[in-house]
Amino acid sequence: MDQNMVERIKANPKYQELVEKRSSFALKLTIVMLVMYYAFILVIAFDKALLGVSLSGGVTTVGIPVGVGIIVISFILTGIYTNRANTEFDELSNAVKDDVAKWSK
């Protein structure tokens, strides 16, 4: 691909929309994940006893469902991103590809 084609793609409004939407969405999901993870780490650092409290007087502590919850939420966030990538982002990407195919002819 020549440099002229690269510049035309970068100037394409659909490409710019794709980059902006994808970056913005990924940043939001990243922030959600980082806040959850670092909150968990901060609780471990400053109040270990909170996560060590037994749920029912047995072996299971509060930390176990909280840790599992963080893992489950990370899978959910991945699914949300994948769903949006396979719908909205793919549509925009295909529109850019169609524009490039028109220019190539």
Domain boundaries, the chain: 12-100
CA distances from 93 to 5, 12, 54, 61, 78 (A): 16, 11, 50, 46, 20
Q: Kindly write down the DSSP assignment for every residue of 40-84, as one continuous string.
A: HHHHHHH-HHHHT-BSSSSS-BTHHHHHHHHHHHHHHHHHHHHHH
Per DSSP, what are the bridge partners of residue 54? 61
pTM for the predicted model, two decimal places: 0.81
How confident is the model over 72-102, as pLDDT tens digits?
999 999 999 999 999 999 999 999 989 888 8
How confident is the model over 30-42, as pLDDT tens digits?
999 999 999 999 9
Cβ atoms of 96 and 15 within 8 Å: the answer is yes
